[in-house]
Amino acid sequence: MAMTLLEVSGLSVSFGTAPIIQDVWVNFRAGELLGLIGPNGAGKTTLLRASCGLLRAAGGSIRFLGKSLQETGSLELARNLAYLPQRGDAHWSLSVEDLVLLGRLPHRPFWTGLSTNDRRIAMAALSACDAVHLARRSIETLSGGERSRVMLARALAVEPRLLLADEPVTGLDPLHQLEVMEKFRALADSGIGVVIVIHDLSLAARYCDRLVLIHNQHIVADNQPVKVLCNEYLNKCFGVRFKTDFNHGIPVVLPLEKCVVE
């Protein structure tokens, strides 16, 4: 069994008095590509943000490599865990290279500048995302697909052991969706733990090792894709009947029609 990087136990998060997720138990493991699925507003993003310490938990605990986030410390966590927010964007028109180099911040003491090693790692991250040729461009001149690859390179420049990405393929064309999913697959195969929030269930089924289905603040299923993506769960959570086909090579999960949930 692969090593557990992050362990979420009995986590609850609320905004004010409204609970967003309740009593969630889940493990993120090294070398595994995990897909978080569920309808809008189910709490996927909240789980991801709470996992990297961006939200305060109302209850339960989160442990990174066996230590609580507080024991780990924000800098140590930042060196090991990269977070890629939904529709991540840059507020100033930095060059792509400068933007990717921001991923090296947690590794640099504040009084030092960039080392050649930092630059080498940033270029390697760009190269891993097929974006070396963009290094000198300004971020605002890039297309959506190029931008998402650069943002991924920024996260990889952290050299994380665990990568949490919120809807990384949303809004991309089919080619870029495939490329980004292949990238996550390759990262997981290289030993990094990868957790993504994803709405495309066919892509999730095809590339992920494990799916966690969240509905109404709770985890409904946590298993291999083929076991999670059955109509018993899907009808209940999405209110939609799906056509699923796992038997002919590439899995297909196709929404068919609305269905009544009793």
What is the spatial distance between Cα 125 and Cα 118, in angstroms, rounded to a whole number?
A: 11
Burial readout 44-55 (b: 16 or more C-beta within 10 A, e: otherwise): bbbbbbbbbbeb
Stretches 59-67, 91-99, 205-213, 231-239: which one binds another protein (CB under 8 A)? 91-99
Residues 6+ away with beta carbon under 8 Å from 232: none
- The yes or no reply on residue 184 touching another protein (CB under 8 A) is no
Stretches 94-102, 176-184, 223-231, 241-249: which one binds another protein (CB under 8 A)? 94-102
| List 24, 36, 128, 134, residue binding another protein (CB under 8 A) | 134
As measured in angstroms, the least distance from the Cβ of 25 to another protein is 23
- The yes or no reply on residue 3 touching another protein (CB under 8 A) is no
Question: In this complex, which beta carbon is closest to another protein, that of residue 137 or of residue 241?
Answer: 137
CB 3 within 8 A of CB 29: yes
Q: How far is CA 55 from CA 1, 24, 186, 236, 252, in A?
A: 29, 14, 29, 28, 35
As measured in angstroms, the least distance from the Cβ of 58 to another protein is 16
Report the first-to-last Cα separation within the chain, whole angstroms: 38
In this structure, what token pair is assigned to residue 234? 């899907």
- The yes or no reply on residue 90 touching another protein (CB under 8 A) is yes
As measured in angstroms, the least distance from the Cβ of 142 to another protein is 7
As measured in angstroms, the least distance from the Cβ of 139 to another protein is 9
Stretches 14-22, 135-143, 197-205, 249-257: which one binds another protein (CB under 8 A)? 135-143
What is the spatial distance between Cα 32 and Cα 38, in angstroms, rounded to a whole number?
A: 19
Question: In this complex, which beta carbon is closest to another protein, that of residue 84 or of residue 201?
Answer: 84
Question: In this complex, which beta carbon is closest to another protein, that of residue 98 or of residue 209?
Answer: 98
As measured in angstroms, the least distance from the Cβ of 66 to another protein is 20
Here's the x/- map for another protein, 7-46, by CB under 8 A: it reads as ----------------------------------------
- The yes or no reply on residue 232 touching another protein (CB under 8 A) is no
- 30 burial level (CB within 10 Å; 0-12, 13-18, 19+): middle
CB 77 within 8 A of CB 52: yes
**DSSP helix/strand/coil, 63:** strand
Q: How far is CA 253 from CA 40, 58, 199, 230, 245, in A?
A: 18, 35, 11, 9, 7
- The yes or no reply on residue 79 touching another protein (CB under 8 A) is yes
- The yes or no reply on residue 142 touching another protein (CB under 8 A) is yes
How many of the other CB atoms lie within 10 Å of CB of 138? Answer: 15
Size of the site for another protein (CB under 8 A): 40
Under the rule (CB under 8 A), what is the footprint of another protein? 49, 52-54, 74-75, 77-79, 81-85, 88-95, 98-99, 102-103, 105-106, 110, 133-138, 140-142, 154, 158
